[in-house]
Amino acid sequence: MDDIKQNCIDFFFKGPGNEFNVKSLYFQDCPLSVCLHGQAPYEHLHGDTAIMETLLGCTFRIVPGNFFQVNVAAAEIMYEQIRQEAGFTKDSILLDLCCGTGIVSIIMSPHVKKSIGIELLQSSIDTAKQTAQLNGVTNVEFIQGKVERKLRLVTHNLKGAEVIAIVNPSRGGLGRVVLDEIRRCKSIRKVIYVSCKPMGRPLFNIMRLCQSGETLGKPFLVNRAIAIDMFPHTRHYEVIFSLQR
């Protein structure tokens, strides 16, 4: 194994792989197709310990295991479109569900009164807080925990506020409990739902948010759906759904 690691270092930093301009090289002995750091720790082999990336004027520190859009040029277009669809005002409260490393909250922070991000992984929350500090952002709050457990506590304190929810969940979409809590919170008048697999579970999420029935709260209506070519030369794409009630 030590020989394999050294061969990787030699190839990317001294040999033919040098032309790829690799900045940071990590090794993970992963017994599954995908493993988190806790399951199989990342071992730094060579180069920088993190990659610094700039997105819409904000600086992000990227380490293994942290999500970041691979196509920065398209990501800037997508986040700018999200901002336009949200229509923030100086009194807006951004509810950033499944916030990951806080990309949306930090980018949108100059346009809102406050942003509240909820994310399951503690490592992502830690990175989000560090990134906010790195960019001098003070009007954000990041909460660790399951969205379905934390959302009701958060929305209880947002009664009467101007709340806009932005969700960018995994391909599995949001759970029914989360969707119903969004419906019940009268302060949430607009939802921006971002999905990289819109024809899967997320489509049923959209239908749930728009389903008639006052027992869940007033339903949303889809205003627009905007496709972003985040993955050129593949059949995959991102879609921004703009919902309002």
DSSP helix/strand/coil, 166: strand
| 119 assigned binding-site residue | yes
Distance CA 198, CA 173 (A): 9
Distance CA 119, CA 140 (A): 13
Total structural domains in the chain? 2
The predicted model gives 124-134 an average pLDDT of 93
pLDDT digits (tens, 9 = 90+) for 145-154: 998 889 888 9
Is the domain of 156 the same as that of 210? yes
Percent of the chain at pLDDT > 70 equals 100
- For residue 160, what pLDDT is reported? 80
Give residue 120's domain range. 67-244
Is the domain of 96 the same as that of 12? no
Has 35 been annotated as catalytic? no
Is the domain of 25 the same as that of 141? no
Q: What is the pTM of this model?
A: 0.88
The answer to the question of residue 61 being in a domain is no
- For residue 214, what pLDDT is reported? 64
Is the domain of 110 the same as that of 182? yes
- Residue 35: C-alpha distances to residues 50, 123, 159, 162, 194 (Å): 19, 14, 40, 39, 25
Is the domain of 26 the same as that of 123? no
| 162 assigned binding-site residue | no
The answer to the question of residue 54 being in a domain is no
Q: Which of 8, 98, 196, 210 is catalytic?
A: 196
For residue 172, what are its two tokens? 């599995």
- For residue 132, what pLDDT is reported? 96
- For residue 202, what pLDDT is reported? 87
Is the domain of 37 the same as that of 120? no
Percent of the chain at pLDDT > 90 equals 67
pLDDT band at 171 (very low <50, low <70, confident <90, very high): confident
Backbone angles phi, psi at 61, to 5 degrees: -100, 115
- For residue 114, what pLDDT is reported? 96
Q: Where residue 129 sits, what CATH number does that domain have?
A: 3.40.50.150
pLDDT digits (tens, 9 = 90+) for 24-35: 999 999 888 888
Buried b (16+ CB within 10 A) or exposed e, 122-155: ebbbebbbebbeebebeebebbbeebbebbeebb
The answer to the question of residue 91 being in a domain is yes
Name the DSSP letter for residue 216: G
Is the domain of 38 the same as that of 80? no
pLDDT band at 81 (very low <50, low <70, confident <90, very high): very high
Q: At what angle do helices 176-184 and 147-156 cross, to 10 degrees?
A: 10
pLDDT digits (tens, 9 = 90+) for 44-79: 999 999 889 999 999 998 888 888 888 999 999 999
| 168 assigned binding-site residue | yes
Is the domain of 19 the same as that of 94? no
- For residue 137, what pLDDT is reported? 97
The answer to the question of residue 62 being in a domain is no
Distance CA 181, CA 37 (A): 31
Is the domain of 220 the same as that of 165? yes
- For residue 28, what pLDDT is reported? 92
Is the domain of 22 the same as that of 102? no
Give yes or no for a contact between 158 and 164, defined as CB atoms under 8 angstroms apart.
Answer: no
pLDDT digits (tens, 9 = 90+) for 186-241: 899 999 999 988 888 888 999 999 988 767 788 999 999 999 999 999 998 999 99
Is the domain of 184 the same as that of 72? yes
Is the domain of 34 the same as that of 139? no
